[in-house]
Chain A
């Protein structure tokens, strides 16, 4: 029976990739049902990375997740399938969140220094926690937006400084400096107990 040949986990992984590719190709051709299937397969990862980048501001993350999938729909006809569909979507999602972050650069001093830590870019429960009671996720959420973005991308998502610098339109040295600062702030928020 054919089913006996399809049990290995690598087959499952390959099958998932193939399903993604088939769905992406159908979506590129205008098949909205296929795109919905793609959305349902990847909404968790896409929303997850956006949520981390915006410090668990849920409403904002949901808006950006919508925006990311609309951008994916627009871009899919030009997708060259040189990377996995999931990887491409994940990167597109992060860039969608970062684009918004970049657009806020000229706004109020949202990231001007460590003094800006309190209450800036923090999650929905900001103000109801103390440094000592913070868990790791909350501590990350409480970082200033750009420092948080660099830390999330480097330490959680595994990006390189080159990739981060490109995405955030900054020098590689600035990415490294932001990471160093973010880690120092994070350890301070955790009471240096980590």
Chain B
């Protein structure tokens, strides 16, 4: 915030009027195609190492972000499987052009989920609990449909993360039985 001591040479009304000029002004023409065309050839900064202590960051993250991080970490640390990969029951849906942000996040999350699932041996359809897998798949599909209808609903993203986590855990449980 700037210093009110420097405001004596400007009437308060004019100062307030100036503040009202701070408004978003979308570009008149579509800039994204030109930006996108330039991105692949751009050098990028090296990734920052994770700070050892970030106490102020965690409270600011909602359950959605925390769950995403936790789920991602869980998949990163998953045990390697001796079995060949299994085709996932849920195919990642490609993001449509100009997809809503949560849909883009859901797509990225689903791709990670499918990658993790491929590492787990496929349970047999006759295995106890297999029906629960199908129900979870149906629930995930329903949530994705709902997210497509309401692309700003963070709770749907959280729900999808929860279903993916349960589906993955149950698949591993059945595979090791």
Contacts and interface: CB of A to CB of B under 8 A. Distances in A.
Q: Is chain B a partner of chain A in the same complex?
A: yes
A48 B108 contact: no
Q: Choose among A22, A40, A73, A161 the residue with the greatest number of B CB atoms under 10 Å from its CB.
A: A22
A132 B144 CA distance: 57
B104 A80 contact: no
B177 interface: no
Interface in B110-163: 152-155, 158-159
Given A44-B24, A73-B39, A33 B104 contact: yes
Contacts of A26: 104-105, 108
Interface residues of A, number: 71
A20 B65 CA distance: 10
Contacts of B65: 18, 21-22
Contacts of B18: 136, 140, 151, 155-156
A146 interface: no
A78 B49 CA distance: 9
Contacts of A34: 101, 104-105, 108
Interface in A69-85: 69-70, 73-82
Nearest to B19: A156
B43 to A, nearest CB: 6
Contacts of A74: 42-45
Nearest to B50: A80
A32 B36 contact: yes
Contact of B102 (A19, A38, A187): A19
B79 interface: no
A32 B99 CA distance: 12
A44 B159 CA distance: 31
Contact of B47 (A78, A156, A159): A78
Q: 9 tightest CB-CB pairs across the interface, nearest first? A: A44-B24, A78-B45, A48-B25, A194-B14, A37-B101, A44-B26, A155-B18, A15-B154, A2-B155
Interface of B: 1-3, 6, 9-11, 13-15, 17-19, 21-29, 31-32, 34-36, 38-39, 42-48, 51, 57, 60-62, 64-65, 68, 95, 98-102, 104-105, 107-108, 152-155, 158-159
Interface of A: 2-3, 5-6, 11, 14-15, 17-19, 21-23, 26, 28, 31-41, 43-45, 47-48, 51-52, 58, 61-62, 65-66, 69-70, 73-82, 136-137, 140, 151, 154-161, 176, 179-180, 183-184, 186-187, 190, 194
